[in-house]
Amino acid sequence: MRKILFFSVLMLVCTVAFAQQALWGGAPVISPEIHDNNTVTFRLKAPKAVKVQVTGDFLPTQKIKTPFGEFDGPGVVDLKEGKEGVWEFTTPEPLKPELYSYSFIVDDLKIMDPSNVYMIRDVASVTNVFIIGGERADLYKVNDVPHGTVSRIWYNSPTLGMNRRMTVYTPAGYETSGKRYPVFYLLHGMGGDEEAWIALGRTSQILDNLIAQGKAEPMIVVMTNGNASQEAAPGETHYGMVPPSMNLPKTMEGSFETAFPEVVKFIDKTYRTKANKQNRAIAGLSMGGYHSLHISKQYPDMFNYVGLFSAAIMPDKKVQSPIYDDFDQKLKIQFSKKPALYWIGIGTADFLYQSNTDFRKMLDEKGYKYTYYETGEGHIWKNWRIYLTEFAPQLFKK
């Protein structure tokens, strides 16, 4: 009996060992490997490859031409082949604290790092990610602090004629506190959706950490889908797994701004909110900044805090909508009501830098008070995460 039991255990161990070998295919390749000095090694096992490269925002930028203009894009560097077909590259200098994205290029084919399960989608691009901790980047990490709740919730928009989805962050303790909370509406850019700020912007991590540190007030954060033709993010609607696209109808022609009061009404009805101007904020990046600008001036009694992150400013000249009529007069009314904060942030290399400069000049000439925050680099999530960490602590202060 003991012999049978022994052989049974032996067979089980062998089976597990063989299963693991089949699953992993031998010793695992570690990539990315973050060293103690914050240099990083990337590795890829590709014994039949002729050329392997890594591209990512940890490298110096390069100019990339797109249908929407020329942008700063991630650099590219070659890996060197080593033993057993493992290609390798180590950054020559330590990386600064930040959330970084990257992918491999094998013989001109872009692929994900098979050794790194952490990936993020940005419109139609998928990249691997890793974090170098320290300084501001610690706000992007999941730390040992009380955590809020992230929900995907549907609402009806009669103006747009469909049910639509939004992502809502409620702060730690919301479910049991019985309290009412201020609301921050946070809007994405062109091609993004209600998932963008949570995934790429690290909203829940940033808010959890700022609130825990006492640097931000506990607040509800509402992240809508700013594409008025969409029900929700690609793959999350009855249309199925349609390809994500930047070229969507009804994005910056007034529909979203017209329908936005329905979002506010739904949130005030569904959540325990402080339902007044003094306890509402709106901000967004790029197209979302454009929406924030025009929503806040269209409804001057709705928001006391406004944030424009690398914002587009004015509509295309071909666009006709009552939302954009009487721009100067609406802006005058908005500032006559003295918003608590009108905040503008942009990078010096951003393709929208000049239009933001012109807008600020106009505000200066009219004596409209605003706060300006300038960073380096361009139209990138690195900047927008920074802006969120700077803007959120200024909201709802007594």
- Determine the Cα angle at 197 with ends 195 and 203, to 5°: 120
CATH number assigned to the domain covering 143-394: 3.40.50.1820
Strands (E), the chain: 33-34, 40-45, 52-56, 62-66, 69-73, 75-78, 80-81, 86-90, 98-106, 109-111, 119-122, 125-132, 149-157, 162-170, 183-187, 220-223, 280-285, 305-309, 341-347, 371-375
What type of residue is 220? Answer: I
Considering only CA atoms, give the Rg of the chain: 24
Q: Band of the pLDDT at 9, cuts 50, 70, 90?
A: very low
Q: Is the pLDDT of residue 10 over 60?
A: no
Quick one: pLDDT at residue 347? Answer: 98
Give Cα 178 distance to the centre of its chain. 30
Whether a cis peptide bond, with omega within 30° of 0, leads into 32 is yes
Q: Are 26-133 and 143-394 in the same CATH fold?
A: no
Residue 206 CA to residue 194 CA, distance in Å, equals 17
pLDDT tens for each residue of 260-283: 999 999 999 999 999 999 999 999
What type of residue is 374? Answer: E
Q: Band of the pLDDT at 247, cuts 50, 70, 90?
A: confident
Q: What is the b/e burial string over 265-301, where b = at least 16 CB atoms within 10 angstroms of the residue's CB?
A: ebbeeebebbbebebbbbbbbbbbbbbbbbbbbbbbe
Q: Is the pLDDT of residue 37 over 60?
A: yes
Quick one: pLDDT at residue 30? Answer: 97
Instruction: Note whether 82 and 88 are within 8 A (CB).
Output: yes
Instruction: Note whether 41 and 35 are within 8 A (CB).
Output: yes
The percent of residues above 90 in pLDDT, for the chain, comes to 83
Q: Which two tokens stand for residue 356?
A: 């933001």
User: Which residues on adjacent β-strands are paired with residue 196?
Assistant: none
Residue 72 CA to residue 270 CA, distance in Å, equals 41
Q: Is the pLDDT of residue 6 over 60?
A: no
Quick one: pLDDT at residue 20? Answer: 41
Phi, psi angles (nearest 5°) of residue 245: -150, 150
Q: Which two tokens stand for residue 25?
A: 């295919």
Quick one: pLDDT at residue 18? Answer: 41
Phi, psi angles (nearest 5°) of residue 89: -145, 135
26-133 topology per CATH: Immunoglobulin-like (2.60.40)
pLDDT tens for each residue of 329-361: 999 999 999 999 999 999 999 999 999 999 999
Quick one: pLDDT at residue 14? Answer: 44
Q: Is the pLDDT of residue 219 over 90?
A: yes
Instruction: Give the CA-trace dihedral at 61, 65, 66, 67, to 10 degrees.
Output: 150
Which residue is listed with tokens 């549907």?
154
Least confident of 84-98, 187-201, 235-249: 235-249
Domain ranges of the chain: 26-133, 143-394
Residue 375 CA to residue 96 CA, distance in Å, equals 15
pLDDT tens for each residue of 287-328: 999 999 999 999 999 999 999 999 999 999 899 999 999 999
pLDDT tens for each residue of 161-217: 999 999 999 999 999 999 999 999 999 999 999 999 999 999 999 999 999 999 999
Quick one: pLDDT at residue 26? Answer: 58
Residue 309 CA to residue 385 CA, distance in Å, equals 10
Quick one: pLDDT at residue 329? Answer: 98
Q: Band of the pLDDT at 235, cuts 50, 70, 90?
A: confident
Quick one: pLDDT at residue 239? Answer: 86
Quick one: pLDDT at residue 8? Answer: 46
